[in-house]
Amino acid sequence: MSSIYTGPVFEMARNQFTHVADYLEIPEGKRDRLLYPKRAIAISCPINLDNGETAVFQGYRVQHHLTLGPTKGGTRFAPSVDIGEVSALAIWMSWKCALAGLPYGGAKGGITVDPHSLSIRELENLSRRYMQEMIPFVGPHVDVMAPDMGTNEQVMAWFMDTYSMYQGRTVSEIVTGKPVSSGGTEGRREATGLGVAHLIARAMQRLQMNPAGATAIIQGFGNVGSYAALELAQQGIRIIGVSDHTACYFDPNGFDVNTLLAYAGKHGSLKGYSTEALFDPDQLLVQACDILVPAAIERVIDADVAAKLKCRILAEAANGPTTPEADAVLDQRRREIFIIPDILCNSGGVIVSYFEWVQDLQQLFWRRTEVLNRLRDLLDNAFERVMVRVEKDAISHRVAAMAIGVDKVAQAKATRGLFP
Per rule CB under 6 A, is residue 247 in the interface with ligand NAD? Answer: no
Helix (H) or strand (E) holding 158: helix 153-167
Among the options 72, 96, 108, 178, which is catalytic? Answer: 108
Per rule CB under 6 A, is residue 148 in the interface with ligand NAD? Answer: yes
Q: Which residues contact 152 (CB under 8 A, 6 or more apart)?
A: 177, 223
Identify any residues that bridge with 54 across adjacent strands, giving them in sequence order: 48
Give min distance, CB of 88 to ligand NAD, in A.
11
Give min distance, CB of 32 to ligand NAD, in A.
25
In terms of C-beta density within 10 A (0-12 exposed, 13-18 middle, 19 or more buried), how is residue 52 classed?
exposed
**Pattern 58-97, binding to ligand NAD, x per CB under 6 A?**
----------------------------------------
To the nearest 10°, report the CA torsion of 71, 74, 80, 85: -30
Per rule CB under 6 A, is residue 184 in the interface with ligand NAD? Answer: no
Per rule CB under 6 A, is residue 224 in the interface with ligand NAD? Answer: yes
Give min distance, CB of 27 to ligand NAD, in A.
32
Per rule CB under 6 A, is residue 356 in the interface with ligand NAD? Answer: no
**Contacting ligand NAD (CB under 6 A), which of 106, 147, 211, 341?**
147
Per rule CB under 6 A, is residue 359 in the interface with ligand NAD? Answer: no
Give min distance, CB of 95 to ligand NAD, in A.
13
Q: Which residues contact 5 (CB under 8 A, 6 or more apart)?
A: 14, 36, 37, 40, 83, 84, 87
- Residue 117 CA to residue 103 CA, distance in Å, equals 37
- Residue 294 CA to residue 129 CA, distance in Å, equals 32
Residue pair 206/387 in contact (Cβ under 8 Å)? The answer is: yes
**Contacting ligand NAD (CB under 6 A), which of 317, 339, 382, 400?**
317
Per rule CB under 6 A, is residue 99 in the interface with ligand NAD? Answer: no
**Contacting ligand NAD (CB under 6 A), which of 62, 149, 285, 292?**
149
Per rule CB under 6 A, is residue 222 in the interface with ligand NAD? Answer: yes
Exposed e or buried b per residue across 81-120, where buried means at least 16 C-beta atoms within 10 angstroms of its C-beta:
bbbbbbbbbbbbbbbbbbbbebebbbbbbbbbbebeebee
Give min distance, CB of 33 to ligand NAD, in A.
26
User: Annotated catalytic, 408?
Assistant: no
**Residues with catalytic roles:** 108
